[in-house]
Amino acid sequence: MREEIRRQFLHYFFGCAIILIIGLIGTTNFLVLNILILVFGFLLSMQVKKGFNPPIIKQVLDFAGRKNETQVPGLGALTFFTGTLLATILFYNNLFLVIGAIIPLVFGDSISTIVGKLIGKIKLIQNKTLEGSIAGITISFVYLSILFPYGIALAAAGIGMLMEYLPIEDNYTIPIATGLTLMLLI
């Protein structure tokens, strides 16, 4: 459990940094930066798999990596950045849509896991808890309501966090579903 909480802390931290960077440099520059990060991350992952383990990378993987990610070291980070890339490509022309699509991925996904692991009692499906889901929707709504009207923010937060229940990588489904919901409602 401790490893998953550390992992979610990094998820939250890097997500905050990404949202700030998108706001500062815009979607075009972020698209280029995100592609560079993904290419570098993939190449680094392949080198780590071959036995190349520089100290800082080893420490990060030991700190936040999952034990089952031996085939692709850092898989969680790679799928996270792929999700932000998808959101940037799909909603490229609207900075607020890009940021809005990413908010539940950053805040809701990490908080729902932490709350679910720490205090979750009511189990739903796929090892998810009601308490975690409510926390994820709530925190996503709070941040989305900074950018969008309350009703739209609540709908987007709910739809985005429901994507955790699909048997597909949620780092992809959360930003896509959230962004589409926002696009349809604004």
Positions of E strands within 9-140: none
Among 33-37, 49-53, 157-161, name the one with the lowest average pLDDT: 49-53
Positions of E strands within the chain: none
pLDDT of residue 1 exceeding 60, the answer is yes
Residue 63 is predicted with a pLDDT of: 58
Residue 112 is predicted with a pLDDT of: 93
Over the stretch 64-120, which tens digit does the pLDDT of each residue have?
A: 555 665 567 778 889 999 999 999 999 999 999 999 999 999 999 999 989 998 998
| pLDDT bucket at 49, cuts 50 / 70 / 90 | confident
- Which residues lie across from 129 on neighbouring strands? 123
Q: Distance between CA 37 and CA 24 in Å, rounded?
A: 17
Taking alpha carbons only, the member of 110, 112, 106, 174 closest to residue 137 is 112
The domains of the chain are located at: 2-185
Q: Distance between CA 82 and CA 109 in Å, rounded?
A: 15
Residue 178 is predicted with a pLDDT of: 98
Q: Distance between CA 175 and CA 85 in Å, rounded?
A: 10
Let me know: does 164 contact 124? Beta carbons within 8 Å: no
Q: Distance between CA 133 and CA 39 in Å, rounded?
A: 32
- Collect contacts of 163-170 with beta carbons under 8 A, ≥24 apart: 164/109, 164/112, 164/126, 164/128, 164/133, 164/136, 165/124, 165/125, 165/126, 165/128, 167/126, 169/79, 169/83, 170/105, 170/109
What average pLDDT does range 19-41 have in this prediction? Answer: 95
Over the stretch 129-177, which tens digit does the pLDDT of each residue have?
A: 999 999 999 999 999 999 999 999 999 999 999 999 999 999 999 999 9
Residue 46 is predicted with a pLDDT of: 85
* Plot region of 128 (φ>0 → left; ψ -120 to 50 → alpha; else → beta): beta
Residue 73 is predicted with a pLDDT of: 76
Sign of CA dihedral 167, 103, 113, 46: positive
pTM of the entire structure?
0.89
